[in-house]
Amino acid sequence: MKEKINRSIWGNLIVSFVLIVVAIFMALPLVYSIMNAFKPLDELFLFPPRLFVRKPTFKNFSDLFYLMSTSFVPFSRYIFNSIFISFFGTLGHVLIASMAAYPLAKHRFPGSKILFNLVIFSLMFSGYVTNIPRFIIMSKLHLLDSYLSLILPYIGATLGLFLMKQFMEQIPDSYIESARIDGANEFKIWWYVIMPNVKPAWLTLILFSFREIWNDTYTPALYIHNEALKPFSLALTYIQQGGFVRAGAGAAAAVLMLIPSILIFLITQSNVMETMKSAGIKG
Amino acid sequence: MKRDKIKNIWKEIKKNRESYFLILPYFVLFFIFVVIPVLFGAILSFTNYNIIQAPKFIGWSNYRRLFLEDDIFLIAFQNTFKFALITGPISYFACLFFAWLINELSPKIRAIATLLYYAPALSSSIFFIWTYIFSGDVYGLLNGILMNLGIIKEPIYWLQDPNINLYVLMLIQLWMSLGTSFLAFIAGFQTIDRSLYEAGAIDGIRNRWQELWYITLPSMKPQLIFGAIMQVTASFAVADISATLIGFPSPLYSAHTIVLHMWDYGSIRYEMGYASAIAVILFLITVTINQGVRRILRSD
């Protein structure tokens, strides 16, 4: 127990107490939404309201499926759209951002510093700043109302490239040297030498990119008018605004929305931590 | 002389053409969707543009109108600053503090705690669950509990009351704000060389606070800078939670923010030039503050 030299018992008690109280605050809304998803209608509008469910039911889920199957666009279509854009947006981002990160981390060529500084600089303002011109550009490129309008901007997202480049810097140059001596070109080095060595980084990118696309309601609301192309996140906000009758179905949809992100985090957690170790910005 | 230099650069570029091929797809997208929009927006902010007719140059008048005539912008400006100045530092230190505490737990408990603390940020689209908790009628969970306990007699209009709804939003934002920087901090704590602590103990460091201040924090400066940038950027960009939970526009514009004001003019009124001027202001604010914070953290 070498690490615990300076720890007092009282300190440990206080620390544990604080951690538990805050954990309850963080978990409560999530627990509440999961509970709501299984509450029958009379429990949803019970007075006084109750956090925990007494007679759990799957009716909200069947209501949700019913509601969505009778709607103009079938429920499965929203789910498909979400999965489609999340999958290709994430895949594209992981491949293309890591392809660009390799030379930025390991080569020195005219412009490389400026380009990377631009990337760091763009971490400093939120995407909202670019929304209006981006919308105009989208419409000029005739990309509005297409899957591409939802996929392409995520592929060019900045956080992923930044994390990838920082992580790649740790790979010993000797790996690259020896591959070069064996006659591999840079593309091959990227694919066969770099990518297998940065597995934690691309798992992290998968998590961040998926989380971003899956939860986004703002971008699709802006670029997509065709109901058949809208993602689940957007459909969810509509059910949400549907009021009383749909409260149960809304709670069920929220739970469906939650599951994939949490699952991906559980799978990638240790790798994410590995990647974030190199996420710093020096000065 | 100059010609030689250009020739040299050209030689360098040719030598590195494989590098350029590799970065090309990403940077094409990055330029189209990030760099050009920023520059284009800056230009548009000096025009009058409604998408249908060609933009018309009008000089500084968008900016003049923003600061001199648009009272609602000033409300949005104040709200955004109030919001950012309160939630920004709190969530930054909360990220740091909880990352630090979690780091001392055993690996298994640490994994569970990380998931619990990160889950709200992870599932950011379900923040509307708070409408049920803060619902202004007796069916709201919080009102129900408080009335049950006899603390209040009448339900409180948490989200509609202009005097308190901004603070309710802050609480919800804090709930969601243990995100990327939180993960970076946890990871940062794990990178610190254990032997530094042993050396510190010999040098007379007595408790965990001294350890944190003299050893831990200085060793993870890069993560601290990264985290600060992420937090500043996020705390000035509040919009969705206000529009979803309180409604748009909020009562008396009590929860109006700069992004919402921009959204109002950009997506509803189609005054693209004016909306761009709002975007430019937001851009200048976040970049200036980020540069300032970076400078403070960098120096010793």
ipTM (interface pTM): 0.90
Q: Residue B236: which of B44, B78, B43, B39 has the closest Cα?
A: B78
Kindly report, residue by residue over A212-222, the tens digit of the pLDDT. Answer: 999 988 889 88
Q: How far is CA A145 from the centre of its chain?
A: 22
Res A1: pLDDT? 39
CB pairs under 8 A between A and B: 309
The pLDDT of residue A85 is 96
For the stretch A84-107, pLDDT in tens is: 999 999 999 999 999 999 999 999
Q: Give, rounded to a whole angstrom, the gap between the first and last alpha carbons of chain A.
A: 35
Cβ within 8 Å, pair B128-A153: no
Q: Is A18 at the interface with chain B, CB within 8 A?
A: yes
Q: What's the CA gap between A154 and A220, in Å, rounded?
A: 12
Asked if residue A231 has pLDDT above 60, the reply is yes
Q: What is the pLDDT of residues A142-195, one digit of tens each?
A: 999 999 999 999 999 999 999 999 999 999 999 999 999 999 899 999 999 999
Q: What angle in degrees, to the nearest 10, is found between the helix axes of A75-106 and A147-155?
A: 30
- How buried is residue A27: exposed, middle or buried, by Cβ count under 10 Å (0-12/13-18/19+)? middle
Q: What is the helix (H) or strand (E) element at residue B25, kind and residue range?
A: helix B17-30
Nearest to B176 by CA among A258, A26, A21, A255: A26
Residues 79-108 of B with CB under 8 A from A: 98, 101-102, 104
pTM score: 0.90
Q: Which residues of A touch B12 (CB under 8 A)?
A: 109-110
- Report d(CA A96, CA B249) in Å as an integer: 40
Q: Given this model, what pLDDT does residue B41 score?
A: 95
Measured between beta carbons, the chain A residues lying within 8 angstroms of B20 are 103, 109
B41: chain A residues, CB-CB within 8 Å: 129-130, 132-133
The answer to whether the CB atoms of A131 and B266 lie below 8 A apart is yes
Q: Are A209 and A90 in contact (CB under 8 A)?
A: yes
Closest partner CB to A254 (pick from B32, B118, B129):
B129
Q: What is the pLDDT of residues B79-92, one digit of tens each?
A: 999 999 999 999 99
Burial class (CB in 10 A: 0-12, 13-18, 19+), B108: exposed
pLDDT at A58 over 80: yes
pLDDT tens digits, B165-223: 899 999 999 999 999 999 999 998 888 888 888 888 888 888 878 888 888 888 889 99
